Amino acid sequence: MIVLQYIKNKKRRFHTFVANRVAIIHDGSSPESWRHVDGSLNPADDASRGLNVSEIVAKKRWKQGPAILWQDESEWPELPTCSDISPDDTEVRAEAKSCAVERRQ
């Protein structure tokens, strides 16, 4: 969900690494086209769950993607609402504040 928040963000600035990746995503797609895939359905999470290679290959979703993507889009789960990114998020760049002084003669 945090990545969706980054992609759909219109207010906050990010540190360089995240900012560059979000910019690449924005250049190649529309933020509205991105959806959330629950971790239990996401084949990319299988390796981090301790599955060995034969288990990953046996599930077939590593090559085919989540089964839900083969269904009509109208049957996909509701898109959770993305809340605003917290200013305390470690990837959010602190706002720069400046003060201008006018010299009069």
Cα(63)–Cα(31) distance, integer angstroms: 25
Is residue 42 located within the same domain as residue 72?
A: yes
pLDDT at position 28, please?
A: 95
Q: pLDDT, tens digit, for every residue of 32-91?
A: 888 888 888 888 888 788 888 888 888 788 888 888 889 998 888 887 776 777 777 878
Domain that holds residue 25: 1-34
Cα(32)–Cα(51) distance, integer angstroms: 32
Residue 78 in contact with residue 35, Cβ under 8 Å?
no
Is residue 22 located within the same domain as residue 44?
A: no
The CB density around residue 54, as the number of other CB atoms within 10 Å, is: 8
Total domain count for the chain? 2
Cα(27)–Cα(35) distance, integer angstroms: 17
Q: Is residue 25 part of a domain?
A: yes
pLDDT at position 96, please?
A: 66
Q: What is the pTM of this model?
A: 0.66
Helix (H) or strand (E) holding 68: none
Task: Give the distance from CA 90 to its chain's centroid.
Answer: 15
